[in-house]
Amino acid sequence: MRLSKTGSSLFAAIVFVEFIALILYNIYYSDMWIQNRGQNFKVNSVQQFTASLQMKANKTFVFGENSSELTLLKNIRSQCSQLTFSFVSPVIQPRFEEKDLTSIFLLVLTVSGAGRLNRERRNVIRKTWANKTRHHASRLWKHIFVLGKTHNSELDKEIMQESSVFNDVLVLDVAENYDNLVIKTFSGLLWGLVHVNPRLLLKTDDDVYIRIPYLITWLELYATELFYGGFSIGDAQVRRSASQKNYVTKDCLDIEYYPPYCSGPFYVVSASALRSIFQSMKKWKAILAEDAYLGILAHESGLPAVDIPGFNPFRSLQDYGKCHWSSAVALGHSFDFLEFSYVENKLQEYSDLPRYYYQCVMTDWAAFIFLFFIPSFVFLIFLTVVKVRTLQTRRLF
């Protein structure tokens, strides 16, 4: 009987330890997946903002290059103490075949710079995630780099040569500097809408990695006609101190908290949603923070900031487990050249795992259960056999 009590206690201890381990395992992965995904939105001084919100998202604006609607958009101007905004025209632009312009599902606009570092990043991107021969997708997609003008004759010549070789460079008539980022980005989006008219547009920076085939698969299933999504940020306070990056003066934006918006390194917007967003520019002055400004316009248009699974610009590569690699879609930012290759190799290494994070974790759970719980049941069977034999022995005597 003593053996039975000892064995039962040992079995209970093993099961308890395994149960705690399973809980910790679940908490660890769940926490890493949902961190920084807050959707709370403080009202405070934004009450006047939300009170004036009108559902404009049901309106669509179809226009060609010479339509009156486009003319109105091109004439949009805004000015505050920090920024004078207007759309700018292309100086150099890529050419797409006529047959492709009616069937492009996704246009990728990667905002880059005119310097040599940016040129090296563009070359790395062409060799890695923007290489269509290595990354086949289910729908047609095109990729271009968006640059501003430089007043350096040597750089101008290099960019011209780069454009002639790769046919993927859009140079806009605006000086290349950070303060003009919102002008460059919005003008690039307008160019894509007018000259390409894809179903969806993806804006990225040139220091991130995008898993285009996985993204397109997800967008085919879940992107609506009026779509705005990426890595959403809620509860973000408007910065007022001039020492902070992307600070905004009150004459440019008189609210204290931004509505939820998608982080700038990568976000997706549908063509129909973009038309509605551009219309909202007539009400809200442009600010330096391009991603937050787009979020304001999307909110004004009645478009929520949707989380796209696998989008995360803030996680360090050291924090990626195999299930994060298998489900990653947009990674970054500030990748150097070696990190681009490292990311590509890691994504390839775990490409045979389930595409969605929790599916992958469930696969791990199956292995976890097998490795930890099967020994418990084997031990339980052993105890049962020992007890039966003990009882049989007692009956004999």
Amino acid at site 36: N
Question: Which pLDDT belongs to residue 360?
Answer: 85
Residue 69, class by beta-carbon neighbours within 10 Å (0-12 exposed, 13-18 middle, 19+ buried)? middle
In percent, the amount of the chain with pLDDT more than 70 equals 74
Greater pLDDT, 387 or 257: 257
pLDDT at 184 over 80: yes
Bridge partner residues of 85 (DSSP): 78
- pLDDT score at 29: 44
Query: For residues 337 and 122, what is the distance between their CA atoms, to the nearest angstrom?
Result: 10
pLDDT tens string 30-59: 444 433 333 333 333 333 333 333 333 333
User: Using one digit for the tens of pLDDT, what is the confidence trace for 291-342?
Assistant: 999 999 999 999 999 999 999 999 899 999 999 999 999 998 889 889 999 9
Alpha-carbon Rg of the chain, whole angstroms? 27
Mean pLDDT for the stretch of residues 239-267? 95
What's the pLDDT score for residue 333?
84
Q: How confident is the model at residue 140 (pLDDT cuts 50, 70, 90)?
A: very high
- Give the residue-averaged pLDDT of 176-191: 95
What integer is the mean pLDDT of 370-390? 66
C-alpha 282/C-alpha 38 separation (Å) is: 30
Res. 258: pLDDT tops 70? yes
- pLDDT at position 85: 96
CA dist 381 and 391 (Å) reads: 15
pLDDT for residue 11: 58
Among 303, 304, 299, smallest CA distance to 50 is for: 299
Task: Give pTM, 2 decimals.
Answer: 0.78
Nearest to 147 by CA among 124, 173, 167: 173
Average the pLDDT over 365-380 and give the result: 59
Q: Positive or negative, the Cα torsion across 183, 185, 186, 188?
A: positive
**Would you call 156 exposed, middle or buried from its count of C-beta atoms within 10 A (0-12, 13-18, 19+)?**
middle
pLDDT at 1 over 70: no
Site of tokens 């492009």 = 104
Paired with 312 in beta bridges are: 331
At 3 the pLDDT is 46
Res. 168: pLDDT tops 80: yes
Please state, in angstroms and rounded to a whole number, the distance separating the CA atoms of residues 133 and 28: 37
Are 176 and 149 within 8 A, CB to CB? Answer: yes
pLDDT digits (tens, 9 = 90+) for 345-362: 999 999 988 888 888 887
Per-residue tokens: 85:
């905004």
pLDDT (0 to 100) of residue 15: 58
User: SS3 of 172, please?
Assistant: strand
What's the confidence (pLDDT) of residue 74? 79
Tokens of 343: 């990311």
- State the average pLDDT over residues 122-133: 95
Cβ 319 vs Cβ 328: under 8 Å: no
Give the mean model confidence (pLDDT) for residues 61-65: 46
Q: Give yes or no for residue 133 having a pLDDT over 60.
A: yes
* HSE-up of residue 318 (Cα within 13 Å, Cβ side): 0
Q: What is the predicted pLDDT for the residue at 100?
A: 77
Pairing mode of beta strands 330-331, 261-270:
unpaired
Cβ-based neighbours of 71, under 8 Å, separated by 6 or more: none
Nearest to 90 by CA among 159, 191, 197, 202: 191
- Does pLDDT of 183 surpass 60? yes
Task: Compute φ and ψ for 314, nearest 5 degrees.
Answer: -115, -15
Percentage above 90 pLDDT, the chain: 60
Q: What is the pLDDT of residues 85-107, one digit of tens each?
A: 999 999 999 998 887 778 999 99
Query: How does DSSP assign 93-121, residue by residue?
Result: -----TTTTTT--EEEEEE--SSHHHHHH
Q: What is the pLDDT of residue 203?
A: 98
Predicted local distance difference test score (pLDDT) of residue 39: 34
pLDDT at residue 116 is higher than 60: yes
